[in-house]
Amino acid sequence: MTRSTYPPTDGAPTAPPAGTPSPASRSSIRQLAAASVGNAAEWYDWYVYSFLAVYFADRVFPKGSGNSLVPLLSTFAVFAVGFFMRPVGGLLMGSIADRRGRRAALTVTILLMGGGSLLVALTPTYASVGVLAPVVLVVARLIQGLSVGGEFAASTTFLVESAGPGRRGLFSSFQYVSTTVGQLLASGIAALLARLLTEGQMGDWGWRVPFLIGALLSLVGFWIRQGAQETREATRDTDPERPALFEALRRHPRESLLICGITAGGTLAYYTWTTYLPTYAQVNAGFDKGDALIASTLSLAFFAALQPLGGLLSDRVGRRPLLIGFALGFAILAVPLLHAITSAFLSLLLVQCAGMVLLTGYTSIAAAVNAEVFPARVRAAGIGFPYSLTVALFGGTAPYLGTWFKQSGHPGAFPWYVAGLCLVSACVYAILPETAKRPLDR
């Protein structure tokens, strides 16, 4: 008589085969993928604009057009639109996340970003439609600014609320892992097209291709997010306890100010080291532009790899030691590090990597720290508006202030500005309660 190959039918649970991920593990991976893949697609769409602007600027904002609206709209689009809309997006998308659920807000943000990217790809030239061309581009960037402002609020709350006990720091770190991946993907695709196509082809149609890719990536992110589990259910429209739009600001002013203080030094250091440093090296040390981009790419890859390590460490030793280490490190070392940059390739690479190590003390746990400040009821909106406003005021202005200090004859003042603002944030971190071991409000 042969032994049956069928499983026992006595109702006893059977263990999964060795090496098979548990349901809880699969759920965690799905949640991380939903937040991270979508976030990478969001930031790819956001960054690819800056990498390709040089190719389409003359097509949309022609020089000497004779129409005074064109340079005005150009200035507005380049300097104001994106960062102006980010606080608005943080408030509106955060409110959707608090009222309708985190997954609903993540769905809206990625569809907005994909739609904005598609609109950029389809933007007509000034030669074909006149002033309508820059108007279309400005509208597209308004949509993308709204989206990226809401993405941090929604994905931050979603990531941290998806984490198991003792894992909030680790999950938090994937916010900047995915952001950096999106940035690297944008620069890589832009560089590849620039190498494969001629200057004329890039100007005629090549610059549109990465935006079409971005729209497709957004659809992939949307599909993945549809399979995610909701971390906070929606409240009914008739619920008298439904959070109001400005409730977080009205009822939690101290927490809102804390978010500003937590973010100020971190966002300035982040944009200085990840975005402005290649330009700073070119302007102040005569660094080669191509070498600066290579050094920046290498340091960004190093930065992405550091994030989970910082998140894991914070789950063990707490958030405050990492935050204080980051802030005091920049307060003490920002000036000597920036002054150490010379025209030698290794000098910039080492300075960037050293800054990335310090910066990880903030970026790897920013999502967790922000989420742990607010109660679940208003967590997304509570984070979204003050965070995005602070980023707009201090992060978005970093390249412009650095250039302004140089043009005004005081290039050495910018490193002191970075150090001073990080010192201000260090004072905030010193009074911040430790929240790593506290249960998260649900």
DSSP per residue, 223-236: HHHHTSPPSSPPPP
Share of the chain above pLDDT 90, in %: 36
Confidence band, pLDDT 50/70/90 cuts, at residue 335: very high
Reported as type and span, the H/E element at residue 114 is: helix 102-121
User: Where in the chain is CATH 1.20.1250.20?
Assistant: 28-228, 246-436
Rounded CA separation 166/316 (Å): 8
pLDDT digits (tens, 9 = 90+) for 225-255: 888 888 777 665 555 567 777 787 888 889 9
Q: What is the pLDDT of residue 2?
A: 44
Rounded CA separation 322/161 (Å): 21
Rounded CA separation 27/23 (Å): 6
Q: Is the pTM here over 0.95, yes or no?
A: no
Reply yes or no on whether the pLDDT at 5 is more than 50.
Answer: no
Reply yes or no on whether the pLDDT at 3 is more than 50.
Answer: no
pLDDT digits (tens, 9 = 90+) for 145-189: 889 888 888 888 888 888 888 889 999 999 999 999 998 998 888
* Eight-state DSSP code of residue 195: H
Of 7-11, 171-175, 312-316, 406-410, the one with minimum mean pLDDT is 7-11
**In the CATH scheme, what is the homologous superfamily, with its name and number, of domain 246-436?**
MFS general substrate transporter like domains (1.20.1250.20)
Rounded CA separation 157/147 (Å): 16
Reply yes or no on whether the pLDDT at 25 is more than 70.
Answer: no
CATH of the domain spanning 28-228, picked from 3.40.50.620, 3.90.79.10, 1.10.3720.10, 1.20.1250.20: 1.20.1250.20
Amino acid found at 386: P
| DSSP state string for 309-331 | HHHHHHHHH-HHHHHHHHHHHHH
Q: What is the pLDDT of residue 109?
A: 92
Q: What is the pLDDT of residue 266?
A: 94
Reply yes or no on whether the pLDDT at 16 is more than 60.
Answer: no
Share of the chain above pLDDT 70, in %: 88
Rounded CA separation 428/435 (Å): 14
